[in-house]
A and B are shown apart, each in its own frame.
Chain A
Amino acid sequence: GAGVSQSPSNKVTEKGKDVELRCDPISGHTALYWYRQSLGQGLEFLIYFQGNSAPDKSGLPSDRFSAERTGGSVSTLTIQRTQQEDSAVYLCASSLGQGAHEQYFGPGTRLTVT
């Protein structure tokens, strides 16, 4: 079956512009995660959705970052007024639930802020 998909695969934007990243999880997966991976770093947890709600938004780096999920499916991560330090690969993962369930990862969106 189809895996997790993300779009765009690459995004180059100018500093100060807003960007929107999209994630399509595996059908039936209620849990959805966003991570950021900077060069040479591990995965930085950003936010987790269970259904459409995000119980914990404390991982978002600043108030320029927001995320939503509609219909228990597609999620968008929006970064407003992008900065050069936002350059990274943004990964999305979905799973059947939290805790012991494994996460299935998408290919990521490589964001470059010039």
Chain B
Amino acid sequence: AQSVSQHNHHVILSEAASLELGCNYSYGGTVNLFWYVQYPGQHLQLLLKYFSGDPLVKGIKGFEAEFIKSKFSFNLRKPSVQWSDTAEYFCAVNDNAGKSTFGDGTTLTVKP
């Protein structure tokens, strides 16, 4: 069975601080990895994804994530956060048989 673990439940940063949110997954087969974001009052939307190729992927709004196969990790990073990045962030893994597993989410609060 696949599982996703997000280590930080709630992160509080000041503007311009650097961000790294941890995500580890457990699955033995081919995985497709995603980070989704839910801004206050909005739907979940895609930040970025990895399914093959360059393990460093770039997404919207300056976010990036690195897939490290040996560590079963897909951590999300941003060099300098803004107040508008306040949101809930979810890491997810899809197998190729339709199963999709999400982590419990990390709430990011950025203080202006």
Contacts and interface: CB of A to CB of B under 8 A. Distances in A.
A1 B59 CA distance: 22
Contacts of A33: 100
Contacts of B43: 3-4, 105-108
Given A3-B43, A48-B98, A50-B98, A102 B49 contact: yes
Contacts of B49: 100, 102
A79 interface: no
Interface residues of B, number: 26
15 contacts: A31-B98, A35-B102, A42-B6, A42-B103, A45-B99, A45-B101, A48-B100, A50-B98, A91-B44, A98-B94, A98-B97, A102-B49, A105-B43, A107-B43, A108-B43
A100 B51 contact: yes
A70 to B, nearest CB: 18
Interface string A72-114: 0000000000000000000101000011101101111000000
Interface of A: 3-4, 31, 33, 35, 41-45, 48, 50, 55-56, 91, 93, 98-100, 102-103, 105-108
